[in-house]
Amino acid sequence: MRKIAITGAAGRMGRSLIEALSEASDAQLGGAIESPQSSLIGVDAGELAGLGRNAICLVSSVDELTEEVDLLIDFSTAAASAANVAACARRGLPVVLGTTGLDAAQLAAVTQSATQIPLCMASNFSTGVNLCFKLAALAAEVLGDEVDVEIVEAHHRHKVDAPSGTALSLGSAVATALGRDLESVAVYGREGQTGARQRQTIGFSTIRGGDIVGDHTVLFAGDGERVEITHRSSSRMAFAHGALRAADWLLHQPPGLYNMQDVLGLD
């Protein structure tokens, strides 16, 4: 029975992961981490997730995890994740990383840590979303430069980064298929007299409101027809189950940087 620790345990994804682990037949919660400033340090993780006591109390760092932990799943914040991955590298602990919004320095640090441990990093661990990455790339290859590409994403009011990491990954998949550099062609929102749309651009539109778990659409708009690839998440459990699937796969891999496409065999 593998033991998995979770960071951001008090957050929405953290609680979903605790629930998913409570239902798993081959894995169990081995540790739960929250920010050192959190008032929930010491609280029972099972009670926090509404599942009853499980004798795993929230701690404030990777260093406080027991030696029995086999892997860490991190859905926290960019700054915290960079530090958590470095701590895991020091103790040889594999990491499934779902945090988005890492800056260049944080991403470089995470990538360096992957030379020491197996690390699976993805903007989205949903199986359906990762299938959409593949479908979006295929659609771009087939439709080519005859269409305009726009990506629309919607999330709950509490999400702090925009566009979402998933939207950016969709954009990257499309740009790569079209032979474009996403950083050069991305347009993040429009306002005022913007002029005619340039065919090479890939547009991003962001919606924030309510309790939307996550909606993403890639729109390929041509003359006389449109193709839309849409994924809508109704529960974070889809992400949680995907993260556990990645964890099971990652435990059998050598050190290196992987993604969910590797886990699913879609590359």
Peptide linkage before 163 cis (omega within 30 of 0): yes
Nearest to 75 by CA among 156, 17, 2, 161: 17
Q: Is there a catalytic annotation at residue 241?
A: no
Q: Is there a catalytic annotation at residue 159?
A: yes
Residue 158, CA distances (Å) to 10, 123, 124, 238 in order: 14, 17, 17, 19
Q: Of 3, 158, 159, 231, which residue is the catalytic one?
A: 159
Q: Of 3, 134, 155, 156, which residue is the catalytic one?
A: 155
CA pair distance 137, 28, nearest whole angstrom? 36
Tally the C-alpha atoms within 13 A of residue 15's C-alpha that lie toward its C-beta.
Answer: 10
Report, as residue numbers or ranges, the catalytic residues.
Answer: 155, 159
